Amino acid sequence: MRDTLVDPFEDIPRSVVVTANNYTPGLSFPVHAHRRGQFAFASRGTISVTTREGRWLVPPQRACWVPAGVTHEMTMRGPVTMLNAFVSQEEAQAEQLPAHCGVYGVSALLRQLLEDAIDLPAMYDIDGRAGKLMNLLVAEIASMPRLSLHAPLPRDSRLAHACQRLFDTPSIAVGLDAMATEVGMSRRTFTRLFREQTGVSFAEWRQQVCLLAAIERLSEGQPVTRVALDLGYASPSAFSSAFRRVLGETPSQYLEARRTA
């Protein structure tokens, strides 16, 4: 797929620009990049972000940081309201914003700052209240906690292709031996290379992929039991236990928190 550059606000002479848009379920932005860093806040709905390094999932009331120049795809899982803060490279470097993609928590203060910034004119007064608000907004972005909602892709093309297939049809039942056979490697070589290139074991990675898929499906309104069985878990309780170990809450608690956010 050809990389494209999306730059609706790139040339505005301000270090930060904030926009808000509503998107329909399933809408996808093909591979593209920005000259500014993008802090994409899912005010409503869930967003999937894919780069050459892996896949991230942005649940409601969370955000994804995509540094300037990083090519990525974005897909809406259900109806989405997205607030974007586009941050110039100079400002991102000054605030030491991350050099890699990541999903982050969003404080009540940052949420309010984003909502207030939507109403500012594009050419806001840098030295006035608006400029101070934008400075605080970027400083708050820099302080947000990173969340474990990422499944990295290995560099080896054989491993990457097999992992992409598991992204497309996730199942906790897919075994290490089956993956090793699929890519034509011994179990030992597969295990070593996979950990070297992703930083985690295959079992940990497979669980993360399934949990990302679970969040997507739960956010689309699918029932917990159906999600658990579709992803290969032996029972809904086994799925709930795995979900809670990683995210600190059960699927039902997760859904309730998103409804009341």
Q: Which of 33, 65, 35, 32 is nearest to 47 (CA)?
A: 65
**Residue 5 pLDDT more than 60?**
no
Domains along the chain with CATH numbers:
4-147 (2.60.120.280), 151-260 (1.10.10.60)
Q: Given this model, what pLDDT does residue 1 score?
A: 33
**Residue 228 pLDDT more than 60?**
yes
What are the angstrom distances between the C-alpha of 237 and each of 205, 208, 229? 21, 17, 11
Q: Residues 42, 95: contact at Cβ < 8 Å?
A: no
Residue with tokens 């993008």: 38
Instruction: Among 10-14, 97-101, 190-194, 222-226, name the one with the lowest average pLDDT.
Output: 10-14
Mean per-residue pLDDT of the chain? 91
Q: Given this model, what pLDDT does residue 3 score?
A: 38
- Quick one: how far is CA 26 from the chain centroid? 16
pLDDT tens by residue, 112-163: 999 999 999 989 999 999 999 999 999 999 999 998 888 999 999 999 999 9
Indicate the pLDDT class of residue 88, thresholds 50, 70 and 90.
very high
What values do phi and psi take at 198, rounded to 5?
-115, -20
pLDDT tens by residue, 47-80: 999 998 899 999 888 999 999 999 999 999 888 9
Residue with tokens 């840098």: 126
Cβ–Cβ contacts within 10 Å for residue 156, how many?
17
What DSSP element (H or E) covers 15? none
Which residues lie closer than 8 Å to 187 by C-beta, 6 or more apart? 176, 177, 180
Q: Residues 190, 179: contact at Cβ < 8 Å?
A: yes
